[in-house]
Structure 1
Amino acid sequence: MRTALAALPGALALLMSAAMAGTFFGFSVGVMPGLGASPGAAAITAMQGINQRIQNPLFLAAFMLAPVAAAAAGAVLWSMDRKTAALLFFASAAVYVAGVFLPTVAVNVPMNDALARLHAPVADAAREWDRYSGRWTAWNHVRTLFGGAATALAAAAFWAWNR
């Protein structure tokens, strides 16, 4: 029973952190370069639409619950005296919070909110888009790397647990 109590949140942590890292990776290598190839006004309008639609229950659940699930798995494994696996899940949660959650709420979301306040026609849309996309994408790269690291730590936790 306790094994299932650790396996379920552990699997969820692994899957959700991988999903978030993959989402951020897709934005870094496809979405943002694609929008950057568009006229500034079109890129702004498209990103405004993306930012509205991405705030959906599935995305928000994965985004918010990945570190919670990792910490829960760590807590159960700690109580089972599987300290190495527990510490790796705790590290996964900490890396996710520090490198995915905090940059999102401190940088990317406020930038999205500022972009949402721009209304067509945007004076010098190309300049506005360039100013937004460069900084937003740089921080998105950070989220991608930390999301990948959180995923790798969760995978390592499963490996350590099964040794």
Structure 2
Amino acid sequence: MLQTVVAIASLVLTGALAGLFYAFSMSVMPGLGAIDADQAANAMRSINRKILNPWLFLVFIGSPLVSLVAGFLADGSAALWFFLAAAVNFLGSFVLTVAVNVPMNNALEAGTMAWRDYLVRWTRFNTLRAIASLAALALGAVGVAGL
């Protein structure tokens, strides 16, 4: 029972993270890119401040961690799929975020990065985060199927 609950929680958290990244790349950033650069930069600064909340951290940190726990609770090939999901999620979302997107957010906040440069580069790396999260979701789904 615990194994199933943790496995499903890993899918829910990973799906929420993938959806967040996907929504930014497919709608938020193109929407901001269609308005005045100063307004867009101000809106993104506000988004970057407001997104730092417990719900984000639950999904952002919880997703790879719960997938890892699901791997430890599973056995056989299911465990491997959950471990792969955790690794892809960690590298593709956590590491990319810390190494690329957060420094860019900080540069935008400080006014040291032009909006147009930020928009293109941030969206490119965010789309990689979405792809990695979707891949982690698929890997976790294979793990659930193997339980």
TM-score relative to the length of structure 2: 0.96
Q: 2:94 aligned with 1:101, yes or no?
A: yes
> Where does structure 1 lack aligned partners over 5 or more consecutive residues?
none
Instruction: Point out 4+ residue stretches in structure 1 off by more than 4 angstroms.
Output: none
Q: Deviations over 1:39-81 (max 9, x none)?
A: 110000000000001011011111001111011111011xxxx
Q: Deviations over 1:88-107 (max 9, x none)?
A: 00000000011111100000
- What is aligned with 2:66? 69
Contact 1:10/1:73 (8 A) holds in 2: yes
Counterparts of 1:53 and 1:12, CA distance in 2: 25
Larger radius of gyration between Structure 1 and Structure 2: 1
Post-superposition offset of 1:5: 2.3
- What is aligned with 2:21? 24
Post-superposition offset of 1:33: 0.4
Q: How does 1:1-163 map to 2 (within 5 A)?
A: 4-77=1-74, 82-118=75-111, 128-161=114-147
TM-score relative to the length of structure 1: 0.87
Letter of the 1:85 partner, please give it. A
> Where does structure 2 lack aligned partners over 5 or more consecutive residues?
none
Q: Report sequence identity in percent.
A: 41
Counterparts of 1:32 and 1:96, CA distance in 2: 22
Aligned-residue Cα RMSD (Å) equals: 1.3
